[in-house]
Amino acid sequence: MFNDPSEAIRLFELESGMNVADLGCGAGSYSIPAAKAVRPDGVVYAVDVQKDLLSKLKNNLANEHISNIEVIWGDLEKIGGTKLRDFSADAVIVANVLFQVEDKKTFALEVKRILKTGGKLLVIDWTDSFGGLGPHSGSVFSSSQARVLFEENNFFLEREVSAGDHHYGLVFRSKKL
């Protein structure tokens, strides 16, 4: 199995009514199944810096008649760059993003800022470059590196989840301050 966003969202155990932030959402591979999981009262904030991908996501939402996703153009590497309020998300999704982020410390702090105390974080990323299938080998951000990054920023690892043959999946919880 390559990577199945719907299965990853199922394993993440989102519930109806949750507010979820999908950071680096791209065209919505994780946003759409998350939006379905949190219906009818939950909302997904789909944040990305690439406007063309956000346009694609908007088209996908119209085609699938999904109305509980708020599309946001934002910078994940700035405090406040997601444009979300402090402690506004019950859950955060970070899928196939860490290998691209340059300022990982600030990114982790932005996740911490928007996530409610005790909220959960799903991290999915590439385990290797696989001969060009994934990121350049020098850009791969391993599961152990992800673990250190988030544990140093007041998260604890709750569990690992299956994310396919080429990805790792980690679920963290935000600690009380």
Tell me: the pLDDT tens digits for 128-162? 877 767 787 788 999 999 999 999 999 999 999 99
Residue with tokens 């199922």: 10
Q: What's the CATH code of the domain at 54?
A: 3.40.50.150
Q: What share of the chain has pLDDT > 90, as a percent?
A: 85
Collapse the DSSP code of 8 into the 3-class scheme (helix H, G, I; strand E, B; otherwise coil) and give the result.
helix
1, pLDDT greater than 50: no
Cα separation, 69 vs 126, in Å, equals: 26
Question: Containing domain of residue 34, as a range?
Answer: 5-174
Over the stretch 9-50, which tens digit does the pLDDT of each residue have? 999 999 999 999 999 999 999 999 999 999 999 999 999 999
Q: Is 93 helix (H, G, I), strand (E, B) or coil?
A: strand
Q: What are phi and psi of 58, to 5 degrees?
A: -60, -40
Mean pLDDT of 71-89: 97
Cα–Cα distance measured from residue 5 to residue 37, given in angstroms and rounded to the nearest whole number: 12
DSSP state of 174: E
The CA distance from 29 to 175, in Å, is 28
Q: Which amino acid is at 113?
A: R
Threshold 0.75, pTM exceeds: yes
Q: How many domains does the chain contain in total? A: 1
Helix 51-64 vs helix 31-38: crossing angle, to nearest 10: 40
Residue pLDDT, tens place only, 95-133: 999 999 999 999 999 999 999 999 999 999 999 877 767
Environment class of 126 (CB within 10 Å of its CB; exposed 0-12, middle 13-18, buried 19+): buried
